[in-house]
Structure 1
């Protein structure tokens, strides 16, 4: 498409990547060709959106074009960031798409430390979160690719710019984001669940240095543990047990005072998380899980064995032959 051709053109218009022998180049005061071209294209792009905003191909093409431009302009993209952020929200409101979230992720991570642009990316993240949370009320099973991309975005934000999540605008959404992740754990697509586990792992870890997150987990953490235990106990596919069990490790490591209390309270329930496990099975599992705060491989093995017992498959030939993907 013409949009992809423009994207490739932007990649080739980096006038500061010329000669290898010039190691340090003075910062040019001249506007880069890509920036000039984008400003001239702005009315055309708005015209495209006015007529084709519901067309996934057009949305992906526009995002790919700006992605190339962002890689070429780097810090110089800042002048365009506010307009692009508003355009991303405009598109996402009408036609939620992983491509929009992918470009937003790059924009947020690139500009979160810029004092002038951080309000722009905070507003962008807040708007994307509001729209995505609405999707959970409409039926998240219809938007699994979008939810996967959103969880990946949140994971990267927590890794590289978690201060954004503690801004006033984002803090008010934090509890809702946490509960939406709990919902996402029940979705059928493996990649969506894996992305959600990744986000939750980063979220739990962030509690070490972020009091508002720690307080939320201490208040709501038993709900997360309940979800993971039920999933391991048979509500989720066997192929997801390894990823789900990583949450045990993160809770153990970062919430050592809470984890034993939650584990014992939940697992003392009759028939929980499966009527096929005995009290002795559960006691062994509790001790084995609480022992591990570092060894991911060990906690995965313990969880897989417990999952097989919950499903009535432990020691069967079928379990031995199929293994765990």
Structure 2
């Protein structure tokens, strides 16, 4: 009698192979117990992973996913090979590296959809390389939304001290202001609330940051806070959400970091990223919400300046993997 294909808790994508992704993945795998490694698969070219393991001194055996066996201490690889003749240079932007990063994410989505993995963990990619390869996405979140047909997605930065969810991310500041609408704010709060409830939080306390200095100061510095944000908060409160705002951005993150709120809704990329990275740069996890699958990521870039020198720090990758395991546990409950 044939058993059904094994489902792994997490599938880790390589990211840009010219960057530190392969190294930090191998460091993280090496730090796991054999039992933990057995619940993880990685996506990418085994030859690149073997080189990365040697670079960081990790004794790991890589086996194609189809040949992986339960009870054996090896790492299952969803194979995405570098095409013959394509050269990738360490620490340099190239179309070949960008295409590899894209194909690894594409493979991970296929494996989750086939129930071979529960949660995707992504190593960093380079947007310029991605665009050189003809994949015109604003990053992982937009790419995953496109690959899964999701109408919208949201970026959560999660840490033990402060977590922020963004109304908009990789757009110009001018466009970000235009995206501050009651509908988008409501959808962002709903996504954040659902995520926290799924993690076991009974009644999440959510704060919505203002857009303008001092929330517009009664219209002196702009009317978006009173015209768009306040009505959205009122509608959410009428529906029973524990949500406050708009609260001036120069105080709301401090208040949340002291425990007053479980989540802050940031109106644009830097408004949310700066305080979280200041407080928890090494441990913040990037989580995609609003997709038909679950994904976590490191919250740093490809670090081309130190790539393939054997000194990349895997602390953030470890945090992304730990958060993904929490999500996988919730999915199994």
Q: Point out which structure has higher relative CO (alpha carbons under 8 A, 6+ apart).
A: 2
The structure whose Rg is larger is 1
Tell me the TM-score normalized by structure 1. Answer: 0.37
Greater fraction strand: 2
Tell me the TM-score normalized by structure 2. Answer: 0.36
Greater fraction helix: 1
